[in-house]
Chains A and B, each alone.
Chain A
Amino acid sequence: MKRPLFRLLLGTALIALLGSAAAQTVRVGLAEDPDVLDPDLGRTYVGRIVFASLCDKLFEITPDLEIFPQLASGYDVADDGLSVTIDVRPGVVFHDGTPLDAEAVKYNLERSKTLPGSNRSSELAQVESIDVVDDDTVRLNLSEPFAPLIALLADRSGMMISPAAAEELGEDFGRSPVCAGPFEFVERVAQDRIALERFDGYWDADAIAIDEVVFLPIPDTSVRLANLQAGDLQVIERAAPTDLGIIRDDPDLTLPSAASLGYQGITVNVANPEPRDDPMATDPRVREAFELAIDREVINDVVFGGEFIVGNQAVPPSSPWYVDAYPIAERDVERARELLREAGHDRVAFEMMVANNPQSVQIGEVVQALAAEAGFDVTVRATEFATALDLWEQGEYDTFQVGWSGRLDPDGNIHSFQTCDGNLNEHGVCDEETSRLLNEARVTSGFDDRYALYEAAAERYLPNRHVIYLYHQQLFFPHTAAMQGFEAYPDGIIRFQGVTLD
């Protein structure tokens, strides 16, 4: 009598053990520790990666950048462009059981607009009011047509959080967020880990096969890769191009990648805070000479092993928004010298600020060497990033090698930088006509009409070269071969829909 009982107990224990061993956990190596986990307050790129598992959005994108409804089930833009009606997916609940209905969507969009310190309020500036049409329908009334709106609702502005939890937690919401995504929040240990577990009430439960996701911030790229190779992590973001050889040679690893939506370039301080009187600031011919003096392919080969994509615009050459009339210029030292002479200079000296990480310093050095042959004396100033940002804002720089992580709609890559009163116009350039064209592109719908406006604007700002676009990152997400169904997205966000572990 005793033995069968013992066996039963043993069997139960074994099943329990196996059961726990079979709990599928994906551990993700992030390059930094995210900031506050509130989609309205969040400001970091890595934060967006965590949100993707935690908070579903009204709209989502495919790896090919097509937008489709996620928590929405469809939408309709009025003919005059002044209102957008969104159908809310029925039957969706938040992690705390609160139903996601039209009221909840209204609450979320209003919170994004009005929460003190919200980083989303400017994204939704054109949304004047929100009407609840019925339980499953909301209408967004706009002050003017706004083409990038749906693309913004496919990012943090479109993330839905539980109104009940938001009211209850107030300022503490970002420390224990409640959303409607595939995984719910378990715990966060600052600088150590963010743990999520599968949400049983997820509306698209069939798409999720794994049980837990743990995000671990590991800033050092070699250590991050070592952890992946040692099997402690299943996927990492931002692998260094110099490590790709090791990854490709490792039979246990797989290396999906996607071209980033962002760009990297050199910003020339033209008029921040006052118009400047050095040759780089005053004379477009000098900037053209500088562009002709550098070779983007060389930078890509030397610093990134040729793994990135060279480019000369705010969007990569592969983008439908790329302006074909301005292809990437070949390096031409002779012509560069000629232009400098025309501008009345024998040699031109200026400082280039770069972030103090090995890659950026290397870019600086390559640019320095190339430009020297054409008559530029570039001093590379490696600066700690927080300090560099400060100097950039204050206008205490000649040129700055800096980039942008990129947005789905081209407006997000261009408008803030090229319009006179753009948020990120830290170079002080202002052309009323460019601003007008870019503002019009925001309120125009239809690809062809918008493209024509972006092309016309590019014809004005590209030859001016106050931003010399250099390259676009290729985003690499090495993961263990045991993880299957993973896809790399151009927005750099890690999604677990369809991912399985062997």
Chain B
Amino acid sequence: MLAFVAQRALTAIPTLLIVTVMVFGIQRSLPGDPAVILAGEERDPQVIAFIRAKYRLDEPIPVQYVAWLGQLARGDLGVSMRTGEPVSSLILTKLPVTVQLAVLSILVAVAVAIPAGAIAATRKNTGWDVAGTVVALSGLSIPNFWLGIMLILLVSVQLGWLPASGFVPFLEDPLENLRRMIMPAFVLGTGLAAVLMRQMRSSMLEVLSQDFVRTATAKGASGWTTVVRHAMRNALIPVVTILGLQLGTLLSGAVLTEQVFTIPGFGKLIVDAVFNRDYAVVQGVVLFTATSYIAINLAVDVLYAVLDPRISGSRA
């Protein structure tokens, strides 16, 4: 098993190297000279030259790349060219914000989609089903940023119920944190809910038509018990799979939602960094994301191997 894990970990290294080459290459092929942008409105030639020299932008790209790798090897992600803040601390402060947003969005999505999908399936072709489909379709088609701005105008400006935007850390003030996260989580959650609801409805329909459900009904179980205890549990399996697949989409959807609600999360960090051509931040964030994906995949592989020894055995 250990050999298997080691082998899988080793194969991650070339993948990561390819990621570093790609993020480095793509970023430097973008038009827009970071030194000119950073130098600001006045763009004093001396200042531009200083910035180029300080961040080694005047050196050939392969030299810059190797220097960056060397820095990475020492565990240093560099500092933001714009504010001088270490990239690692930027990532560490932004990541929990986006994770919290993602978790809340999933909660919203699940709370809406599972009952709605189940109801639509059990009352197939009734008004309930049609209404559910319409809601799901609207959730899919309404852009997040539009829904976000509309909600701000209605809930915050007109009704004054919730703050319009901004973020307060949970540990600092849990209630205020939630008050500020409800709307963005709702916006992000509705898009996800639509997908989940459709999945829930179809898998529920499938389960309801299976023999064991008929048997349960025949044995005298009430309609409600059949649906909740027997059918729903089975129907949830594909839904959970979809939920997992949607996680990536959720994080990218967070980019726009974070912009609208000015939530200082991961998405906003990378968008602003790209616009400012803050190379160090973009590189750090992309590398961090790639590493996380690889680590998660590795963990899943290992988990499979634990569950089914044939997987590791066949490779050894």
Q: Write out the residue numbers on chain A whose beta carbons fall within 8 Å of the beta carbon of B275.
A: 384-386
Mask: chain A, 111-139; 1 = CB below 8 Å from B; 0 = not: 00000111101100000000000000000
**By the criterion CB–CB under 8 Å, are A216 and B166 in contact?**
yes
- B33 on the A face (CB < 8 A): yes
The listed residue (B43, B82, B261, B277) touching A423 by CB distance below 8 A is B43
**By the criterion CB–CB under 8 Å, are A230 and B83 in contact?**
no
**By the criterion CB–CB under 8 Å, are B149 and A222 in contact?**
yes
The listed residue (A118, A218, A390, A423) touching B31 by CB distance below 8 A is A390
Supposing A172-B84, A223-B165, A230-B160 touch, asked if A44 and B40 sit within 8 A by C-beta, the answer is yes
Interface centre among B90, B163, B166 (most CB of A within 10 A): B166
- B45 on the A face (CB < 8 A): yes
**By the criterion CB–CB under 8 Å, are A190 and B167 in contact?**
no
Q: Return the chain A residue nearest B281 by Cβ.
A: A190
Mask: chain B, 34-69; 1 = CB below 8 Å from A; 0 = not: 001111111111110011001000000000000000
**In the complex, chain A residues 378-416 whose Cβ is within 8 Å of any chain B Cβ:** 384-387, 389-391, 393, 404-405, 416
| Alpha-carbon separation in the docked complex, A35 to B84 (Å) | 9
- A229 on the B face (CB < 8 A): yes
| Alpha-carbon separation in the docked complex, A424 to B80 (Å) | 26
**By the criterion CB–CB under 8 Å, are A226 and B32 in contact?**
no
| Alpha-carbon separation in the docked complex, A229 to B39 (Å) | 35
Q: Write out the residue numbers on chain B whose beta carbons fall within 8 Å of the beta carbon of A283.
A: none
A264 to nearest B CB, angstroms? 13
**By the criterion CB–CB under 8 Å, are A117 and B260 in contact?**
no
Q: Write out the residue numbers on chain B whose beta carbons fall within 8 Å of the beta carbon of A190.
A: 80, 83, 85, 90, 93, 264, 269
The listed residue (A45, A117, A387) touching B51 by CB distance below 8 A is A117
Q: Write out the residue numbers on chain B whose beta carbons fall within 8 Å of the beta carbon of A386.
A: 31-32, 37, 275-277
The listed residue (B33, B50, B262) touching A117 by CB distance below 8 A is B50
Q: Write out the residue numbers on chain B whose beta carbons fall within 8 Å of the beta carbon of A242.
A: none
A221 to nearest B CB, angstroms? 11
Supposing A175-B85, A423-B42 touch, asked if A227 and B165 sit within 8 A by C-beta, the answer is yes
**By the criterion CB–CB under 8 Å, are B166 and A43 in contact?**
no
Q: Return the chain A residue nearest B85 by Cβ.
A: A190
**By the criterion CB–CB under 8 Å, are B262 and A423 in contact?**
no
**By the criterion CB–CB under 8 Å, are B84 and A36 in contact?**
yes
Contact count band on A:
35 or more
| Alpha-carbon separation in the docked complex, A384 to B271 (Å) | 13
Mask: chain A, 202-230; 1 = CB below 8 Å from B; 0 = not: 00000000000000111110110011011
Supposing A116-B50, A386-B277 touch, asked if A226 and B31 sit within 8 A by C-beta, the answer is no
**A-B contact number at CB 8 A:** 137
- B272 on the A face (CB < 8 A): yes
B93 to nearest A CB, angstroms? 7
**By the criterion CB–CB under 8 Å, are A218 and B262 in contact?**
yes
B247 to nearest A CB, angstroms? 23
| Alpha-carbon separation in the docked complex, A45 to B40 (Å) | 9
| Alpha-carbon separation in the docked complex, A71 to B204 (Å) | 74
The listed residue (A43, A217, A384) touching B40 by CB distance below 8 A is A43
- A171 on the B face (CB < 8 A): yes
Binds A, one of B21-29, B151-159, B217-225, B288-296: B151-159
- B268 on the A face (CB < 8 A): yes
**By the criterion CB–CB under 8 Å, are B38 and A43 in contact?**
yes
Q: Return the chain B residue nearest A116 by Cβ.
A: B50
Q: Write out the residue numbers on chain B whose beta carbons fall within 8 Å of the beta carbon of A219.
A: 259, 262
Q: Write out the residue numbers on chain A whose beta carbons fall within 8 Å of the beta carbon of B85.
A: 175, 190
Supposing A43-B38, A122-B44 touch, asked if A230 and B84 sit within 8 A by C-beta, the answer is no
**By the criterion CB–CB under 8 Å, are A232 and B164 in contact?**
yes
- A189 on the B face (CB < 8 A): yes
**By the criterion CB–CB under 8 Å, are B38 and A227 in contact?**
no
- A174 on the B face (CB < 8 A): yes
Q: Write out the residue numbers on chain B whose beta carbons fall within 8 Å of the beta carbon of A404.
A: 41
**By the criterion CB–CB under 8 Å, are B156 and A226 in contact?**
yes
**By the criterion CB–CB under 8 Å, are B165 and A232 in contact?**
yes
Q: Write out the residue numbers on chain B whose beta carbons fall within 8 Å of the beta carbon of A222.
A: 149
| Alpha-carbon separation in the docked complex, A33 to B275 (Å) | 12
The listed residue (A44, A189, A230, A423) touching B164 by CB distance below 8 A is A230
| Alpha-carbon separation in the docked complex, A73 to B230 (Å) | 84
**In the complex, chain A residues 250-267 whose Cβ is within 8 Å of any chain B Cβ:** none
**By the criterion CB–CB under 8 Å, are A218 and B165 in contact?**
yes
Q: Write out the residue numbers on chain A whose beta carbons fall within 8 Å of the beta carbon of B93.
A: 189-190
**By the criterion CB–CB under 8 Å, are A423 and B83 in contact?**
no
Q: Write out the residue numbers on chain A whose beta carbons fall within 8 Å of the beta carbon of B43.
A: 423-424
Q: Write out the residue numbers on chain A whose beta carbons fall within 8 Å of the beta carbon of B83.
A: 33, 35-36, 174-175, 190
Mask: chain B, 264-283; 1 = CB below 8 Å from A; 0 = not: 10001100100111000000
Q: Write out the residue numbers on chain B whose beta carbons fall within 8 Å of the beta carbon of A216.
A: 166, 262
Q: Write out the residue numbers on chain B whose beta carbons fall within 8 Å of the beta carbon of A175.
A: 83-85
B171 to nearest A CB, angstroms? 14
- A97 on the B face (CB < 8 A): no
- A358 on the B face (CB < 8 A): no
A470 to nearest B CB, angstroms? 18
The listed residue (A35, A217, A226, A387) touching B157 by CB distance below 8 A is A226
| Alpha-carbon separation in the docked complex, A384 to B163 (Å) | 31
| Alpha-carbon separation in the docked complex, A45 to B80 (Å) | 19
A175 to nearest B CB, angstroms? 6
- A192 on the B face (CB < 8 A): yes
Q: Return the chain B residue nearest A246 by Cβ.
A: B157
**By the criterion CB–CB under 8 Å, are A45 and B31 in contact?**
no
Supposing A223-B164, A386-B275, A386-B276 touch, asked if A393 and B42 sit within 8 A by C-beta, the answer is no
Q: Write out the residue numbers on chain B whose beta carbons fall within 8 Å of the beta carbon of A193.
A: 166
Q: Return the chain A residue nearest B272 by Cβ.
A: A191
- A11 on the B face (CB < 8 A): no
The listed residue (A43, A116, A393) touching B41 by CB distance below 8 A is A43
| Alpha-carbon separation in the docked complex, A116 to B262 (Å) | 34
**In the complex, chain B residues 72-98 whose Cβ is within 8 Å of any chain A Cβ:** 80, 82-85, 90, 93
Interface centre among B30, B33, B262 (most CB of A within 10 A): B262
**By the criterion CB–CB under 8 Å, are B264 and A192 in contact?**
yes
Supposing A223-B262, A384-B32 touch, asked if A230 and B37 sit within 8 A by C-beta, the answer is no
A189 to nearest B CB, angstroms? 6
**By the criterion CB–CB under 8 Å, are A223 and B149 in contact?**
yes
| Alpha-carbon separation in the docked complex, A121 to B44 (Å) | 9
- A231 on the B face (CB < 8 A): yes
| Alpha-carbon separation in the docked complex, A300 to B120 (Å) | 54
Q: Write out the residue numbers on chain B whose beta carbons fall within 8 Å of the beta carbon of A226.
A: 149, 152-153, 156-157, 164-165
| Alpha-carbon separation in the docked complex, A306 to B160 (Å) | 32
23 pairs, A vs B, C-beta closer than 8 Å:
A33-B272, A36-B82, A36-B83, A43-B41, A119-B47, A121-B46, A171-B84, A189-B264, A192-B262, A223-B152, A226-B149, A227-B165, A229-B156, A230-B163, A230-B164, A232-B163, A232-B166, A384-B32, A386-B32, A386-B277, A387-B31, A423-B45, A424-B43
Name B's A-contacting residues (CB within 8 A). 30-33, 36-47, 50-51, 54, 80, 82-85, 90, 93, 149, 152-153, 156-157, 160, 163-167, 259-262, 264, 268-269, 272, 275-277
Starting from the known contacts A189-B264, A390-B32, 10 additional A-B residue pairs (CB-CB under 8 Å) come to A35-B82, A35-B83, A119-B40, A190-B80, A218-B166, A227-B164, A389-B37, A416-B42, A424-B42, A424-B43
A-B pairs, top 8 by smallest CB distance, nearest first, are A43-B40, A386-B32, A192-B264, A117-B50, A230-B156, A387-B31, A227-B164, A230-B164
